[in-house]
A and B are shown apart, each in its own frame.
Chain A
Amino acid sequence: MKKIAFAAAVFAFAAVAHAAPATEASIRELMETTGARANMASSLQNLAKALPQILRMRAETMVRNNPKLNDDQRKAELANVERRMPIVTAALQKDLNDPKLVDELYNQVVPLYARHFTQEDVKALTAFYRSPTGKKSLEVMPVLMGESAQAAQKLVQDRAKRIVEQTK
């Protein structure tokens, strides 16, 4: 009986050790394998490009919808927005393309992975993404996802159009 209890205890311990949380080093290795740094940097760059345009649109809408302004004032305010745009664009470019920002993101994503994946998981993930097929799927999947979303949109659109036209 003692023997069995001992074996059970060892087994339980082994099970716990088995599910050890992933180490920081192994998570960083996984992230390097999946190209996380380059992905983060490119998302930040996209953000830096998109934000000035959103800001401009908002500022212009605010000026246009302001009932207190007359046409001349409106024109002057719009010119003002235009004049300030290069400043904000440059500021955003500088702040969002900062390598330190990527480091900061990286440091926060490591604990996120540690919370969800065990050491064994991380090793298996790294092994898959290092294999030729894993590597290829990393490259191809984003493109494929984009194309499949487009295809889905088109299908839904065609069907909806047909139905709306039938009910005319």
Chain B
Amino acid sequence: MKKIVVALIASFALVQGAVAADQAPAPANAAAVRELLDAMNYRTMWKASMDQMSKTMPDLMRQQVEASVKADTSMNDAQRREALLKMEAELPKMTEVLSGVLSDPGLMVEMEGEMIALYSRYFTADELKQIAAYYRTPVGMKSMQLMPQVMAESMAIGQRVTMPRIQKAMEQFRKK
């Protein structure tokens, strides 16, 4: 089971891009990024997305373990059943462990360090200040709040518009 979990965790990182060792950003930049993160309500957003991840975690783990058990040709059906039962039994504990990782304030602080390095690489302190100022305007705040909803609605439009065309292509696939 532990092996599976380690493999599972490894699979979270779909792209293990080389995260370059960042040079420490200038103090002016670090302060400006903090100011921007604050304007973006970064901590609230981070907590919300970690909560969301904790909720979807058990299903995700179950799906992945089920898929890997099914694909394992070295097991017979009885062994597969047993492996799945074992997974179900251990799932609550594993979920608890991962939820603990996700909700750890230390993780959020570490992530802030990453964000400071990242933003400093792309923006000057001046630009960071301007973006933070924009997010503090009424329209900046409003657009930030509405963004998830607008994105979801745009996605729904995209699906609605493309679906008929995709279905048509799939029918051709079946016929020929």
Contacts and interface: CB of A to CB of B under 8 A. Distances in A.
Contact of A91 (B102, B134, B158, B172): B172
A7 B16 CA distance: 63
Interface string A84-117: 1001100110011010010011001100110011
B63 interface: no
Contacts of B118: 144, 147-148, 151
Interface residues of B, number: 54
B78 interface: no
A42 to B, nearest CB: 13
Contacts of A15: none
A154 interface: yes
Nearest to A121: B139
Contacts of A128: 134, 139-140
Report the contact-size class of chain A (Cβ under 8 Å from the partner).
35 or more
B169 A157 contact: no
Contacts of B149: 116
B3 to A, nearest CB: 10
A163 interface: yes
B107 A159 contact: yes
What is the predominant secondary structure among interface residues of chain A facing chain B? helix
A164 B5 contact: yes
A150 B14 CA distance: 9
A164 B9 contact: yes
A116 B6 contact: no
Contacts of A5: none
B157 interface: yes
Interface of A: 40, 43-44, 47, 51, 55, 84, 87-88, 91-92, 95-96, 98, 101, 104-105, 108-109, 112-113, 116-117, 120-121, 124-125, 128, 131, 133-134, 136-137, 140, 143-144, 147-148, 150-157, 159-161, 163-165, 167-168
